[in-house]
Amino acid sequence: MNNRKTLKFSDPVTEQEDEEYQDLLLSELLIAIMKTDAASVHELAKTAGISSTIIQNIRS
């Protein structure tokens, strides 16, 4: 027997909400990486191939 419940959304997610959620996930992921790997903003930016400013803006 499968006792899992399927999540159903009553309201469709707007494109803006989806984008905001993706930004939040990216921000949390970057912060977690920096904490667990002790990576600096510069190191993370270099690895991701983006500028340090973008990483810093995501963190805040």
Sequence ranges of the domains in the chain: 31-60
Q: How confident is the model at residue 8 (pLDDT cuts 50, 70, 90)?
A: low
Q: Percentage of the chain surpassing pLDDT 70? A: 77
Instruction: Specify the residue for token string 């930016």.
Output: 45
Average pLDDT for the chain: 77
pLDDT band at 2 (very low <50, low <70, confident <90, very high): low
Contact 18, 24 (CB under 8 A): no
CA–CA distances in Å: residue 58 to residues 1, 2, 12, 28: 43, 40, 26, 9
32 and 14 in contact (C-beta within 8 Å)?
Answer: no
- Is the predicted pLDDT of residue 3 greater than 80, yes or no? no
